[in-house]
Amino acid sequence: MWKVNPFKYNRRLSEEVLIGNLKLGGVNPVRVQSMANTDTNDIENSVDQCIRIVEAGADLVRFTTQGIREAESAGVIRQKIREKGYETPLVADIHFNANAADVAATKVEKVRINPGNYVGSVKIGDNSDYTDEEFAREYEKIRARFIPFLNICKENNTAIRIGVNHGSLSERMMNRYGDTPQGMVESCMEFLHICREQDFHNVVISMKTSNTVMMVQVMRLLVDRMEAEDLHYPLHLGVTEAGDGEDGRIKSSVGIGGLLLDGIGDTVRVSLSEEPEAEIPVARLLVEHTGKRKHAPAIEAVESPLCSRYEYKRRETNAVGKIGAENVPVVLASKDGGFATIPDFLLTDDRVLSTDGSVYPVYEADYVQTLLTDDSAVKFVRLQYADLTEDMILFLKNRTDVVVLLSSEHADGVGEMRAFFHTLLNADCRVPVILCREYSETALDHLQIKAAADLGVLLIDGFGDGIFLTNKGAITVEEINSVAFGILQAARVRISKTEYVSCPSCGRTMFNLQTVIARIKARTSHLKGLKIGIMGCIVNGPGEMADSDYGYVGAGRGKVSLYKKKECVERNIPEDEAVDKLIELIKSHGDWHE
C-alpha cells in the first residue's frame, strides 16, 4: 500500500492507462494538457487552436461537448488534425448530457464526465432529506445509465475521466454529506465501484475545486481511500477557476505543486483565464520543478501524529510580538522598495526592522547563547534543520522572545523544512517560524511558480508564521513582495487584496473572458479582502464561486447574471451594462470604498 513520505519523494505508482497512443500513469512522465476555448462547432478555429496548444507542448487537448452536435464536431476536429500529422489525443468534456457522452466515446480518445450532473435527481423539486431507499434508488439509476456508456468505451478503446467538481456535487451527495471533501470522495467512489464491477480500468480521476486547501486535502483523502480498496487509477490535477496573471500562476502552483511534491498526480492542467496555449509552459515548469525532488537524498525525521493531511490546523506557536499564535502570517522583505503592499518587516544582514520603527537583532545558530544578555523584545535566529539539536530544541522551548528564520539548502527543501516542523511538534516546541527561501530566477513567472509550490504546501500543512523570499536575478523587491503576499492568499492563510475566482474559458463561455476580467479588475482591485467570481457560463459558475462575495456569470450571448454569495440577484443584464451594475451591487451592500 502506497503511503506518502513527507521527508522523501515517493511517487504514487498508478495503473497505466492508454489514451489513443498516449500512455498515462504508471512510470510514464506526468502529462500536461489544456482545454480549447473555441466553439467546438467552429471546426476551422478549433483545429487551428488545437494545433497551437499541441505545438506549445500539450500531451492532450480537451473540447467542451455540450450536446450530440458538439460530440460529432469533436470527431471532425480529430480527423482534421490527424490529416495534418498530429497524433495528440482529444478529450470530450461532458457535463449534463449523458447521450452526448455516448456519441463522444465513438469519436475521440477520452471522455470526461462529471458525476455531479451525469444523471438527474430522483427528487427534483423535493428538498427533504434522502431516505436510504431513495439514496440507493438513485445509485441504481446511475448504474443503469453509466454501464451502457462503459460498454461503448470498451468497444472503442476509449478512456474516461471521472471528474468531480466541488462546485457541482449532486444534490443527493450534498444532502447526505454536505459541502465537504467526504462528499466529493463518495461521489467519485460510486463511479469507481461501477467501473471495477464492470471490469473497466481505462479510468483517470480528478477532484477539482477553486479552494487550494480543499483541493489538496480531498485528493489526499481520495488516494488513501483508493489505496485501502486496492484501486490505483491515475490522477489528473487542477485548481478550477484559478484566474489569470500572477494570481492564476501562484494559485495553481500552490494546489497542483503541493500534490506533485507529495508524489501524487499523473497529468495536470493549469487553468488560466488566458489563451489555452499559455497554460502549457506554466504546467511544464511546475512538473519539472517538483520532479527534481525525486533525486534528493533521504532526510531522517520522525513524522508527528499531530499533523493532519486531511484538515487544516495551523501549528500552535507562541506570540512573539506580532508573529505567531493568532497573528496572520507575516511578510518580510529585504529592503524598502516603495511597496504597493507594505511588508510587515524589513530584513537586513543583522537586524529586522518593523513598520512601527522597532529594530530587532538577528543571530546565527552558533551564537544563540549570546542573546541571553540581549533585552530586545524580539530576537530572530537563523536556523536550518541540521541546527535542530536536542540542546537547540531545549533552548527554543525555554524562550518566548525568539522567532526562527528557517532556510534550507537541501535538494528537497520542502522535505527538510517539513522535518524541522515535525521535530518541533514531537518536542512540543512552539517557537514561531518564518519560511525563508532564496531563488535565482530571471523571469518573474518562474519565481511565482517555484516559490508557490515550495511554500504553499507547507502553509496548507499548517506550517509557517510568515514568509521571507529573496531572489538573485532581475526581479524587483516589489515584485518579490507581491509574490509572497500572493502565496499567503492562495494558501488561504492571509487575505491582502481582492481575490478573483475566474474560469479559464471554454466553448461554453458567453463573453470575452479576458477583456471582462481586465475591466472588472480595473474597477475593483482596490477592494482589499473582497472575493469576486467571474464565470463564463452557468455550468460550474454558481457552484465554483459559491464562497465569493459577488459573482458575474454569463447567462447567454450578450447577457450576464449577477450574484450576491449564492443568490442570483439580477438576471440577463446586457453585457455592456453588467460591470456598472456589478459596481452598483457592491455599493448597495456597503462593500465599496474609494
In this prediction, residue 499 carries a pLDDT of 78
As a whole-number percent, the residues of the chain with pLDDT over 70 amount to 94
In this prediction, residue 427 carries a pLDDT of 97
Listed residue (390, 396, 330) closest to 363, CA to CA: 396
Please state, in angstroms and rounded to a whole number, the distance separating the CA atoms of residues 323 and 346: 14
Please state, in angstroms and rounded to a whole number, the distance separating the CA atoms of residues 169 and 130: 15
Q: Taking CA 210 as the corner, what is the angle to CA 286 and CA 509, rounded to the nearest 5 degrees?
A: 95
Residue reference for cell 456535487? 169
pLDDT band at 69 (very low <50, low <70, confident <90, very high): very high
Average pLDDT over residues 549-570: 81
Calculate the CA 75 to chain-centre distance: 31
pLDDT band at 549 (very low <50, low <70, confident <90, very high): confident
Please state, in angstroms and rounded to a whole number, the distance separating the CA atoms of residues 386 and 382: 12
Average pLDDT over residues 465-474: 94
In this prediction, residue 336 carries a pLDDT of 67
Listed residue (33, 29, 35) closest to 16, CA to CA: 29
pLDDT band at 273 (very low <50, low <70, confident <90, very high): confident
For residues 175 and 88, which has the higher predicted lDDT (pLDDT)? 88
pLDDT band at 537 (very low <50, low <70, confident <90, very high): low
- Under a CB-based contact definition with an 8 Å cutoff, are residues 331 and 348 in contact? no
- For the chain, the C-alpha Rg in angstroms (whole number) is 25
Average pLDDT over residues 270-275: 89
Residue 509 has pLDDT above 70, yes or no: no
Listed residue (580, 557, 555, 566) closest to 533, CA to CA: 566
In this prediction, residue 51 carries a pLDDT of 98
Residue 507 has pLDDT above 60, yes or no: no
- Under a CB-based contact definition with an 8 Å cutoff, are residues 262 and 291 in contact? no
- Under a CB-based contact definition with an 8 Å cutoff, are residues 2 and 12 in contact? yes
Describe the strand order of the beta sheet including 531-535 as a list of residue ranges.
499-502, 531-535, 550-556, 559-564, 567-574
For residues 510 and 235, which has the higher predicted lDDT (pLDDT)? 235
For residues 115 and 536, which has the higher predicted lDDT (pLDDT)? 115
Q: Among 71-75, 369-373, 579-583, where is mean pLDDT lowest?
A: 579-583
For residues 336 and 225, which has the higher predicted lDDT (pLDDT)? 225
What are the start-end ranges of the H helices in 540-574?
541-544
Give the highest mean pLDDT range of 56-65, 292-301, 500-509. Answer: 56-65
Strand partners, 362: 380
Run of H or E including 520:
helix 513-524
Average pLDDT of the residues of the chain = 90
In this prediction, residue 504 carries a pLDDT of 61
Residue type, 104: A
User: What does the CA dihedral 441, 442, 448, 453 come to, rounded to 10 degrees?
Assistant: -30
Run of H or E including 347:
strand 345-347
| pLDDT tens figures, 368-380 | 889 889 999 999 9
pLDDT band at 545 (very low <50, low <70, confident <90, very high): low
Strand partners, 364: 382
Q: Taking CA 268 as the corner, what is the angle to CA 310 and CA 548, rounded to the nearest 5 degrees?
A: 60
Q: Among 47-56, 302-311, 498-507, 530-539, where is mean pLDDT lowest?
A: 498-507
pLDDT band at 542 (very low <50, low <70, confident <90, very high): low
Please state, in angstroms and rounded to a whole number, the distance separating the CA atoms of residues 235 and 238: 10
Residue type, 156: N
Residue 348 has pLDDT above 70, yes or no: yes
- Under a CB-based contact definition with an 8 Å cutoff, are residues 107 and 78 in contact? yes
Give the highest mean pLDDT range of 353-362, 558-567, 584-593. Answer: 353-362
Listed residue (422, 329, 345, 406) closest to 378, CA to CA: 345
Q: Taking CA 278 as the corner, what is the angle to CA 275 and CA 280, rounded to the nearest 5 degrees?
A: 130
- Under a CB-based contact definition with an 8 Å cutoff, are residues 383 and 436 in contact? no
Q: Among 59-68, 473-482, 500-509, where is mean pLDDT lowest?
A: 500-509
Residue reference for cell 458538439? 70
| pLDDT tens figures, 22-32 | 999 999 999 99
In this prediction, residue 523 carries a pLDDT of 86
For residues 537 and 166, which has the higher predicted lDDT (pLDDT)? 166
Average pLDDT over residues 404-411: 97
Contacts of 192 by beta carbon, 8 Å cutoff, 6+ apart: 162, 203, 205, 226, 231, 233
pLDDT band at 566 (very low <50, low <70, confident <90, very high): confident
Average pLDDT over residues 277-297: 95
As a whole-number percent, the residues of the chain with pLDDT over 90 amount to 68
Residue reference for cell 464491477? 197
Q: What are 203's three cell numbers?
A: 479510468
Average pLDDT over residues 491-509: 75
pLDDT band at 147 (very low <50, low <70, confident <90, very high): very high
Please state, in angstroms and rounded to a whole number, the distance separating the CA atoms of residues 279 and 248: 10
- Under a CB-based contact definition with an 8 Å cutoff, are residues 46 and 77 in contact? yes
Residue type, 83: E
Residue 541 has pLDDT above 60, yes or no: no
| pLDDT tens figures, 234-263 | 999 999 876 778 899 999 999 999 999 999
pLDDT band at 543 (very low <50, low <70, confident <90, very high): low
Average pLDDT over residues 112-126: 72
Strand partners, 10: none
In this prediction, residue 544 carries a pLDDT of 60
Calculate the CA 214 to chain-centre distance: 9
In this prediction, residue 120 carries a pLDDT of 64
Please state, in angstroms and rounded to a whole number, the distance separating the CA atoms of residues 299 and 385: 10
Q: Report the predicted TM-score, pTM, of the whole model to 2 decimal places.
A: 0.90
Run of H or E including 279:
helix 279-291
